[in-house]
């Protein structure tokens, strides 16, 4: 197949409404809801404040999803935010988004999810005698990434079916965790008024609330994933908006209820003292299940989180590669990334490239932790892929804010374009999202613990400028006008 023929390919519409919903919900529910409750409670030592933070984080994400629904219905093709950035601002911002997405954001997310899956898997199957536990975890992590790569290469429909089944199971597991404590009469309303660190004098500060919000938004991260597969979803103008709105309603309900039930079962000081390290037997969800079921509860939560992270990993392996595929089809990325597998009709090269890079990040992270001496305090160095991923959180926020803001630009520049769905509450809804994002980015730049990561994240984005220069003069796809 020639490059010209390659750049004229389209992906078949093989996904229905249930797959679109499962990609959004299943990609979002990873390990966050099982872990971040401790961080949130330490920064917001009040159950009322915690509930408020989870609701605000959900409404913030919902505002983005409602706006994204209009954009994805306007551009029912592969690529998601890449398409909206290119249509509103031109090739350069779109290229820099995909460059950062491929280099660190998506690959780092895949590597981190695989690591979380491995940490919980090794709770069930500890490392054999004589084998370094870090190597054992790495084997599990690489195996998980290879598995989801094979699933998504052999068929988008297969990946979608796996996503549906896994999402039903983990939503069911969360629902059971919410209901069972009431059936067992293990809920104690007095826990909502219990005091934690600092006692009665502890109060909620703006700095603490924003730190909690970053953890909460991490747990909500993933709602954007469904838009990237718009080219493969049947009736995208109807199905994607429905999936986004229902998906966010499910996520907000589950997250708010789960966080409140944690505090009905466990006192504030126990939640605050829980570990935030994935795989730890002192993770909030592990303490919660242990309180209800004893040792079998630890086994159950390990299996639940392992499944949850694996399904989230599958969703990221479905959505991320579509952006590289789309940009390669436009002639702004290596053309081999938009080649479709002749038998399976999937963007196999993009899937393999993304997860292959994630595997390399994982191996580099393992080597980093094993070869670099521990810090003077005895604390092991942070894994490399965690470092890289934290560096681009700020940059990722920049791109998502620009993508949501593109609805204002496109309403002016393309007023006659067909819009099967229009943003509910426009212009207030996208305005609230943009203003909240700007406030979040300001706090990230102002905070001592995030300023350097934010600046380095911008540096990684700017590294894409010379690469863009290589591709900007190349002739774009003959179908460019159709995909705009």
Quick: pLDDT tens for 174-212: 999 999 999 999 999 998 987 766 665 567 787 788 888
- pLDDT range class, residue 376, cuts 50, 70, 90: very low
pLDDT at 27 over 50: yes
Q: For residue 202, what pLDDT is reported?
A: 64
Q: Which residues of 358-397 are buried (b: 16+ CB within 10 A; e: fewer)?
A: bbebbbebbebbeeeeeeeeeeebebbbbbbbbbbbbbbb
CA distances from 5 to 163, 336, 352, 468, 482 (A): 31, 12, 21, 23, 15
String of DSSP letters for 452-469: HHHHHHHHHHHTHHHHHH
- pLDDT range class, residue 419, cuts 50, 70, 90: very high
Q: For residue 477, what pLDDT is reported?
A: 44
pLDDT digits (tens, 9 = 90+) for 127-144: 888 888 888 989 999 999
Q: For residue 449, what pLDDT is reported?
A: 61
Q: Is the pTM of this model over 0.85?
A: yes
Rounded Cα distance between 322 and 297, Å, is: 38
State whether residue 188 is helix, strand or coil: coil
Note whether 205 and 129 are within 8 A (CB).
no
Q: How deeply is 191 buried, as exposed, middle or buried, from its count of CB atoms within 10 A (0-12, 13-18, 19+)? A: middle
Q: For residue 354, what pLDDT is reported?
A: 95
pLDDT at 457 over 90: no
pLDDT digits (tens, 9 = 90+) for 226-280: 899 999 999 998 999 999 999 999 999 999 999 999 999 999 989 988 876 655 6
pLDDT at 481 over 50: no
Closest CA to 390 of 452, 321, 316: 452
State whether residue 233 is helix, strand or coil: strand
Q: Which stretch, 1-15, 203-217, 223-237, has highest mean pLDDT? A: 223-237
Q: For residue 221, what pLDDT is reported?
A: 83
Note whether 221 and 24 are within 8 A (CB).
no
Structure tokens that stand for 42 in this block: 């330490």
Q: For residue 281, what pLDDT is reported?
A: 62
pLDDT at 401 over 60: yes
Average pLDDT over residues 347-351: 96
Percentage of the chain beyond pLDDT 70 is: 87
Closest CA to 436 of 7, 3, 34, 61: 61
- pLDDT range class, residue 455, cuts 50, 70, 90: confident
Note whether 353 and 321 are within 8 A (CB).
yes
Q: For residue 115, what pLDDT is reported?
A: 84
pLDDT digits (tens, 9 = 90+) for 56-70: 999 999 999 999 999
Q: What is the separation, in whole angstroms, between the first and last Cα of the chain?
A: 24
Q: Which stretch, 27-31, 112-116, 154-158, 361-365, has highest mean pLDDT? A: 154-158
CA distances from 204 to 33, 189, 209, 453 (A): 21, 21, 7, 25
Percentage of the chain beyond pLDDT 90 is: 52
Place of tokens 């009469």: 185
């Amino acid at each position: 197949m020639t490059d010209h023929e390659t750049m004229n390919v389209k992906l078949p519409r093989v996904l229905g409404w249930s797959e679109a919903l499962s990609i959004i919900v299943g990609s979002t529910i990873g390990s966050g809801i099982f872990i971040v409750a401790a961080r949130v409670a330490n920064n917001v030592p009040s159950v009322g404040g915690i509930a408020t933070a989870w609701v605000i984080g959900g409404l913030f994400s919902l505002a983005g999803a409602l706006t994204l629904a209009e954009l994805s219905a306007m551009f029912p093709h592969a690529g998601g935010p890449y398409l909206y950035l290119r249509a509103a601002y031109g090739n350069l911002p779109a290229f820099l988004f995909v460059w950062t997405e491929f280099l660190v954001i998506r690959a780092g997310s895949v590597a981190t999810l695989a690591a979380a899956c491995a940490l919980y898997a090794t709770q069930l199957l500890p490392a054999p005698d004589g084998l370094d536990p870090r190597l054992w975890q790495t084997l599990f992590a690489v195996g998980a990434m290879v598995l989801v790569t094979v699933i998504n290469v052999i068929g988008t429909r297969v990946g979608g079916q796996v996503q549906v089944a896994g999402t039903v199971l983990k939503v069911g597991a969360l629902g059971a965790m919410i209901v069972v404590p009431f059936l067992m009469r293990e809920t104690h309303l007095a826990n909502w008024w219990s005091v934690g660190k600092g006692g009665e004098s502890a109060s909620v500060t703006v700095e603490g609330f924003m730190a909690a919000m970053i953890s909460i938004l991490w747990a909500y991260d993933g709602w954007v994933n469904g838009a990237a597969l718009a080219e493969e979803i049947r009736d995208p103008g109807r199905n994607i908006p429905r999936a986004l709105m229902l998906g966010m309603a499910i996520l907000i309900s589950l997250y708010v209820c789960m966080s409140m039930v944690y505090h009905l079962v466990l006192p504030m000081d126990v939640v605050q003292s829980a570990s935030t390290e994935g795989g730890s037997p002192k993770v909030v969800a592990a303490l919660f299940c242990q309180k209800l079921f004893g040792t079998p509860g630890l086994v159950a939560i390990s299996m639940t989180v392992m499944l949850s992270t694996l399904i989230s990993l599958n969703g990221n392996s479905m959505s991320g590669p579509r952006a590289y595929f789309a940009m390669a089809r436009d002639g702004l990325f290596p053309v081999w990334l938009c080649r479709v597998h002749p038998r399976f009709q999937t963007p196999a090269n993009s899937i393999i490239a993304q997860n292959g890079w994630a595997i390399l990040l994982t191996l580099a992270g393992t080597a980093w932790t094993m070869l670099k001496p521990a810090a003077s305090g005895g604390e092991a160095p942070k894994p490399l892929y965690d470092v890289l991923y934290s560096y681009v959180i700020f940059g990722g926020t920049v791109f998502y804010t620009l993508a949501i803001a593109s609805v204002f630009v496109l309403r002016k520049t393309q007023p006659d374009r067909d819009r099967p769905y229009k943003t509910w509450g426009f212009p207030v809804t996208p305005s609230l999202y943009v203003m909240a994002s700007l406030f979040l980015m300001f706090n990230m730049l102002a905070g001592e613990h995030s300023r350097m990561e934010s600046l380095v994240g911008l540096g990684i984005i700017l590294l894409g400028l010379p690469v863009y220069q290589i591709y900007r003069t190349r002739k774009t796809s003959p179908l460019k006008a159709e995909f705009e």
